[in-house]
C-alpha cells in the first residue's frame, strides 16, 4: 500500500482560542467572565402574567398563588389562607362561587400550557373561598364614612361587586332588586348543584355586612322611578342584567311549549318546575344550554301528564306549585335530552369539561345543526324541531351561517328550550336603551344617553353585553372606581391598558416595617433608592409577559392536582341534585400553587445569584428583604453578560437602560 504525502495547507489548522501573536496563558475563569460584554445591564421588570391579563375581574392571581405556595409571606399572626383570600377578594368578593362556575379564561392564558398543562387557578380559588366560609372570615368595615350614597340597581354579580367596592370606600350603598333574593343569574340562572345556595348566601351576606342596605321586590320603573332614585342618591349604578331570553327566530316558535333558557332555569331555581317532557330539545351551544340540558336530565318526566302538569305552564304562570306537587306522586322517569348547536361540538362556546359531563350523563349533543322550523300539532303545541345541517363560523365578529340544502330532519320534542342569548328588559327605563338593546358607556362605564354622559350614572354586567359572571364582577369594580372619583369631585381618569390588580411593593414594605419611599414612574436608576433596591419598573398596566420571555427549561413536568368531580351516568343523573365539584385538600392546593411560574415577578429561585459570573447579583439582607426586594445588583461589577436574564425562569430580569 502506498501513501501520498500530506497536502500543503495555506493556513495551519489550529484549535487555539488566542489571536496570532498572543502567547500569554490566562486563567480560563477570567476568559469566561470576560467572554461577553455589553452596554446593557439587568433591569427588573414587573409585568402582568397572561392569567391575570385573561381574567375579566382582574384578580391578582399570581399574587395569591405565590402566597399559597409560600413565596410571599403574610404579616405576623395572619394565616396564609386568610392572606391569600384577602388578596384574591380585593378584586372578586365571590371566590367560592366563581371557583365553581367560572369557565376560567385565566387557565387558557396560563403560560404553563407551554410546559405541560395550565395551573388549576380555579381550583385554588375554590379552596380559598371554602376556607374563608368555614372560618367565618369577614371584610373589614371602613373606619371613615364619606356621607355619600349610591343606589345599586340589580343584585346580581355586577351590582354586588359595585356595592362591595363602594362600601369598602366608606360610601352608603342600597341595592334594589326586583326579585325576592339577591344573586341575579347566580341564583336564578345557574342550577343549585353548580352554585350551592348556602355558599352563595354566605358570600352575599359578607358583602351586606359591610353596611349595604337592601330593598328587594322593587323594580325600577314600576315601583320607583329613575327620577326618584337620582333625587335620593348621589350616584347610581345600573346592574340590570339581561334576564330575558331570546326566542328562536323561526316559524312556529310561538308555541306554548317553546320557552327560553332564562325562563326555564328561573322556574327550576324557584322550585316551580319539578319535571319536563319525555323528549327535550335545547338549542344553543354555550354554558347556559348545558345547564338547561343537565337540569332537564335530572328532572326527567312523569308517567301521567295532565294539562295542568305540563312544564311550560309552570314556567309561564309563575306558580305551578300545586299541580307539580301532585304530579310528584307519579313515577319519575328519565328524559331524552338533545342539545343542538350551529357550531361543531369541539367549537362550541361551552366549557369543555361541562360538555364532557353532559355527554357522560347521556345527553345527545349534535353540532353543526341549525333550527329551521318548529313543527306544531293540531293542538298548537310543538311536536318537533326541524333542523338542517349547517356550516357556521365567525368572520370579523359576525356570524357566517350557511345552510346545507336537503339535510332537514325533525327531532321529536315535548319541550323546546331556546338558549341562544339574553336580552335586557328596559321596561320603565326606555330612555336608556341605546337602540341595540343595551346601555352605551364610556371606558369608565359611565352611561351615555343620546350621546351625552349621564353624570353620576354608571353601569356594568350583561346590560352592556351578556358575557361571563366574572366579567360582570370586573365591570362592577371599574364602575365603582369611576363612581368614587365622581363623588370626590375628581375627573374621570383614563383606564390602564391592562386593568388588573397588581403586586404592590409599598404594601410589602409597610408590612415589613421598612421606611416607605415613594416609588414613582418612570423608574430608571433606582438601585440607589431605598424603595426599589434595583433598576425596577412596574409595567403591569401595559405589558403582558409572553412565554417567550421565560426560561421554560427551569420547570420540570408536573401533573396538575385536579379536583375530584362526581361524574354521573344517565341513570344516576335522574333526580340527583348534589354538587359535583369537591374542593382540593390543603396540601393539594399548595402543590398546585407551586406549579405557578410567577410570570413577570421574582419567585426567589436564586438562579441569578448562583449563575452570575461576576457575583454582581446578590441577595438582599433579610432585614431589608420582601417579595419584590429579594435580589439586588452591584452595577459596578456587572459587565452586561445577560446570563442572569437567560436563567431567570419568570422573565422578571431583562436587559436595558444602557451605560
Residues 10-23: tens digit of each pLDDT: 555 444 455 666 66
Question: Contact, 287 vs 349, CB < 8 A?
Answer: yes
Q: Each residue of 573-601: pLDDT tens digit? A: 998 999 999 999 999 999 999 999 999 99
Q: Each residue of 137-157: pLDDT tens digit? A: 999 999 999 999 999 999 999
Q: How far apart are CA 648 and CA 128, in angstroms?
A: 29
Q: Each residue of 256-277: pLDDT tens digit? A: 999 999 999 999 998 888 889 8
Of the candidates 446, 376, 452, the one whose C-alpha atom is nearest the C-alpha of residue 413 is 376
Residues found in the chain: 659
The pLDDT value given to residue 647: 95
Highest mean pLDDT of the ranges 166-170, 431-435, 450-454: 166-170
Q: Each residue of 564-580: pLDDT tens digit? A: 999 999 889 998 999 99
Q: Each residue of 380-391: pLDDT tens digit? A: 999 999 999 999
For 394, the enclosing helix (H) or strand (E) is: strand 382-395
DSSP code of 378?
T
Q: Which residues pair with 564 in a beta bridge?
A: 582
How would residue 1 be classed by pLDDT, with cut points 50, 70 and 90?
very low
Alpha helices in 364-516 (DSSP H): 469-487, 505-512
Which domains are assigned to the chain? 149-242+424-487 (3.50.50.60), 245-421 (3.50.50.60)
* Phi/psi at 266 (5° precision): -65, -45
DSSP code of 431?
G
Of the candidates 193, 67, 134, 124, the one whose C-alpha atom is nearest the C-alpha of residue 562 is 124
Q: Which carries the bigger pLDDT value, residue 317 or residue 457?
A: 457
- Mean pLDDT of all residues in 166-181: 97
For 185, the enclosing helix (H) or strand (E) is: helix 185-188
The pLDDT value given to residue 22: 63
302: pLDDT strictly greater than 80: no
Question: Contact, 499 vs 58, CB < 8 A?
Answer: yes
279: pLDDT strictly greater than 60: yes
Question: Contact, 584 vs 592, CB < 8 A?
Answer: yes
Question: Contact, 456 vs 236, CB < 8 A?
Answer: yes
Q: How far apart are CA 631 and CA 602, in angstroms?
A: 9
Cis amide leading into 522 (omega within 30): yes
Q: How far apart are CA 570 and CA 360, in angstroms?
A: 7
Amino acid at each position: 500500500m502506498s501513501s501520498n504525502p500530506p497536502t500543503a495547507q495555506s493556513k495551519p489548522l489550529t484549535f487555539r482560542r488566542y489571536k496570532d501573536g498572543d502567547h500569554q496563558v490566562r486563567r480560563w475563569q477570567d476568559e469566561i467572565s470576560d467572554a461577553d460584554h455589553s452596554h446593557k445591564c439587568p433591569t427588573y421588570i414587573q409585568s402582568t402574567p397572561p392569567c391575570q391579563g385573561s381574567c375579566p375581574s382582574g384578580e391578582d392571581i399570581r399574587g395569591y398563588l405565590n402566597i399559597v405556595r409560600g413565596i410571599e409571606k403574610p404579616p405576623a399572626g395572619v394565616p396564609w389562607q386568610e392572606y391569600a383570600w384577602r388578596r384574591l377578594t380585593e378584586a372578586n368578593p365571590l371566590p367560592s362561587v366563581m371557583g365553581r362556575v367560572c369557565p376560567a379564561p385565566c387557565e387558557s392564558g396560563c403560560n404553563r400550557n407551554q410546559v405541560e398543562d395550565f395551573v388549576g387557578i380555579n381550583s385554588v380559588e375554590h379552596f380559598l373561598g371554602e376556607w374563608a366560609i368555614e372560618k367565618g372570615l369577614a371584610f373589614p368595615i371602613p373606619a371613615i364614612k364619606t356621607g355619600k350614597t349610591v343606589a345599586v340597581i340589580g343584585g346580581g354579580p355586577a351590582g354586588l361587586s359595585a356595592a362591595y367596592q363602594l362600601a369598602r370606600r366608606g360610601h352608603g350603598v342600597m341595592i334594589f332588586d326586583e326579585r325576592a333574593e339577591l344573586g341575579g343569574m347566580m341564583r336564578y340562572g345557574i342550577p343549585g348543584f353548580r352554585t350551592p345556595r348556602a355558599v352563595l348566601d354566605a358570600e352575599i351576606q359578607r358583602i351586606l355586612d359591610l353596611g349595604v342596605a337592601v330593598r328587594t321586590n322593587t323594580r325600577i320603573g314600576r315601583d320607583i322611578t329613575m327620577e326618584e332614585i337620582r333625587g335620593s342618591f348621589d350616584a347610581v349604578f345600573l346592574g340590570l342584567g339581561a334576564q330575558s331570553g331570546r326566542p328562536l327566530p323561526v316559524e312556529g316558535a310561538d308555541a306554548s311549549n317553546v320557552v327560553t333558557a332564562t325562563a326555564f332555569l328561573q322556574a327550576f331555581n324557584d322550585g316551580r318546575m319539578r319535571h319536563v317532557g319525555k323528549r327535550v330539545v335545547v338549542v344553543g351551544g354555550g354554558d347556559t344550554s348545558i345547564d338547561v340540558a343537565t337540569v332537564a336530565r335530572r328532572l326527567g318526566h312523569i308517567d301521567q301528564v295532565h294539562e295542568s302538569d305540563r312544564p311550560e305552564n309552570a314556567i309561564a304562570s309563575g306558580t305551578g306549585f300545586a299541580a307539580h306537587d301532585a304530579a310528584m306522586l307519579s313515577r319519575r322517569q328519565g328524559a331524552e335530552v338533545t342539545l343542538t348547536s350551529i357550531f361543531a361540538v369541539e367549537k362550541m362556546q361551552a366549557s369543555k369539561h361541562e360538555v364532557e359531563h353532559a355527554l357522560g350523563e347521556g345527553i345527545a349533543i349534535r353540532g353543526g345543526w341549525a333550527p329551521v322550523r318548529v313543527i306544531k300539532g293540531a293542538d298548537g303545541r310543538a311536536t318537533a324541531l326541524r333542523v338542517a345541517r349547517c356550516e357556521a363560523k365567525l368572520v370579523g365578529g359576525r356570524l357566517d351561517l350557511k345552510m346545507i340544502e336537503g339535510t332537514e330532519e325533525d327531532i321529536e320534542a315535548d319541550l323546546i328550550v331556546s338558549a341562544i342569548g339574553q336580552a335586557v328588559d328596559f321596561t320603565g327605563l326606555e330612555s336608556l336603551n341605546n337602540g341595540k338593546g343595551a346601555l352605551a358607556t364610556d371606558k369608565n362605564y359611565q352611561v351615555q344617553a343620546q350621546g351625552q354622559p349621564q353624570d353620576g350614572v354608571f353601569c356594568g354586567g350583561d346590560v352592556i353585553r351578556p358575557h361571563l359572571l366574572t366579567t360582570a364582577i370586573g365591570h362592577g369594580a371599574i364602575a365603582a372606581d369611576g363612581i368614587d372619583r365622581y363623588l370626590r369631585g375628581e375627573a374621570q381618569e383614563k383606564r390602564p391598558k391592562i386593568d388588573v390588580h397588581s403586586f404592590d411593593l409599598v404594601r410589602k414594605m409597610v408590612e415589613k416595617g421598612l421606611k416607605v419611599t415613594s416609588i414613582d414612574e418612570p423608574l430608571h436608576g433606582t438601585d440607589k433608592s431605598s424603595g426599589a433596591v434595583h433598576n425596577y419598573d412596574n409595567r403591569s398596566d401595559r405589558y403582558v409577559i409572553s412565554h417567550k420571555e421565560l426560561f421554560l427549561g427551569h420547570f420540570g413536568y408536573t401533573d396538575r392536582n385536579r379536583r375530584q368531580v362526581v361524574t354521573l351516568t344517565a341513570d344516576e343523573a335522574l333526580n340527583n341534585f348534589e354538587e359535583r365539584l369537591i374542593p382540593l385538600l390543603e396540601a393539594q392546593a399548595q402543590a398546585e400553587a407551586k406549579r405557578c411560574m410567577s410570570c413577570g415577578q421574582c419567585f426567589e429561585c436564586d438562579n441569578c445569584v448562583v449563575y452570575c459570573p461576576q457575583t454582581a447579583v446578590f441577595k438582599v439582607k433579610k432585614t431589608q428583604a420582601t417579595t419584590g426586594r429579594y435580589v439586588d445588583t452591584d452595577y459596578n461589577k456587572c459587565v452586561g453578560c445577560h446570563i442572569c436574564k437567560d436563567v431567570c425562569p419568570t422573565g422578571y430580569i431583562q436587559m436595558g437602560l444602557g451605560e
